[in-house]
Amino acid sequence: MPFTRHSPNQNHLLAALPQAEFELLAPQLELVSLPLGAMIYEPGQQLQHAYFPTSAVVSLYYVTESGAAAESAGVGNEGMVGIALIMGGGSMPSSAVVQTAGHAWRLERQRLQLAFARAGLMQALLLRYTQALLTQMSQTAACNRHHAVQQQLSRWLLLTQDRGPKRELVMTQELVASMLGVRRESVTEAAGHLQQLGYIRYRRGHITVLDPQGLQTRACECYGVVKKELARLLCDERYRQDTV
């Protein structure tokens, strides 16, 4: 049967859990709406919940003392926000902000840690997802240092689109520039060129990916590396079917 409108199965990690593990967790999951720009956690703040996005996309980013910012990773329906809760640190020096409005399933930290400690498939899934997230962070650092803005923008748009059900992204060029850690004028120039090629359509506050395959020709290898590693580490996902 198809997914219901709001189902934990819309998050790949939750959908991969065996029925027995999922039934222990399901009563503790809370559906929450995440508006654009909402701050999920701030630097150094003790995390209270983990979030499993379904339609929302969350950016993990760092802001320097001078106010400059750059995204280190994005999290959508493939993952979880709150890795520090299972790694023992409890907090992060970065921020987590909603990049694309939508929904997520929230789980209180002690509930997550208890489920992780059971050492079932959820523990294995979260550890492998953490490895994929670390790959994304290191690849993003290399990409931002060595690749052109148009390549970075193409990579970022493709990854963002992969994480959600919508092809139209509601965001300003200022926000995109902040995520990439570049000047807004550079994003304007790169987006204009991609629009001339017919790969995207941009109007104030909205970016629509029209031709993902074409966009891939302008992206650097970083997009493929991140996508391939995520697929490799989570390739044995077993999706449950909703019964309602």
Residues 204 and 86 both lie in one domain: no
Q: What angle do CA 159, 227, 111 make, to 5 degrees?
A: 85
What letter would DSSP give residue 46?
P
Label residue 218 exposed, middle or buried (CB < 10 Å: 0-12, 13-18, 19+): buried
What single string gives the DSSP state of each residue in 191-222?
A: HHHHHHTTSEEEETTEEEES-HHHHHHHS-HH
58 and 119 fall within a common domain: yes
Instruction: Judge if 24 and 131 occupy the same domain.
Output: yes
Pairing of strands 206-209, 168-170: antiparallel
For 99, the 3-state DSSP assignment is strand
Asked if residue 155 and residue 63 are part of one domain, the reply reads: no
State residue 238's pLDDT score.
54
Quick check: is 239 in a domain?
no
Give yes or no for residue 3 having a pLDDT over 50.
no
Q: Is 165 inside a domain boundary?
A: yes
Instruction: Give the pLDDT of residue 178.
Output: 87
pTM of the model: 0.89
Structure confidence by residue, pLDDT tens digits, 61-79: 888 888 888 899 999 999 9
Q: Are residues 183 and 124 in the same domain?
A: no
Split into its structural domains, the chain has a count of: 2
Residues 131, 175 within the same domain: no
Task: Using a pLDDT cut of 70, give the percent of the chain over it.
Answer: 94
Strands (E), 15-127: 30-34, 39-41, 49-53, 57-63, 69-75, 95-100, 102-108
Mark whether 133 and 215 lie in a shared domain: no
Same domain? For 152 and 140 the reply is no
In tens, the pLDDT along 173-202 reads 888 888 898 999 999 999 999 999 999 998
Residue 190, in any domain of the structure: yes
The predicted model gives 225-237 an average pLDDT of: 82
**CATH number of the domain enclosing 185:** 1.10.10.10
pLDDT score for 75:
95
> HSE (CB half, 13 Å, CA atoms) of 211?
12
Mean pLDDT, rounded, of the chain:
89
Does the structure show a pLDDT above 90 at 119?
no
Range of the domain at 184: 148-219
> Which region among 52-56, 86-90, 162-166 has the lowest average model confidence (pLDDT)?
162-166
- For residues 48 and 107, the answer to whether their CB atoms sit within 8 Å is no
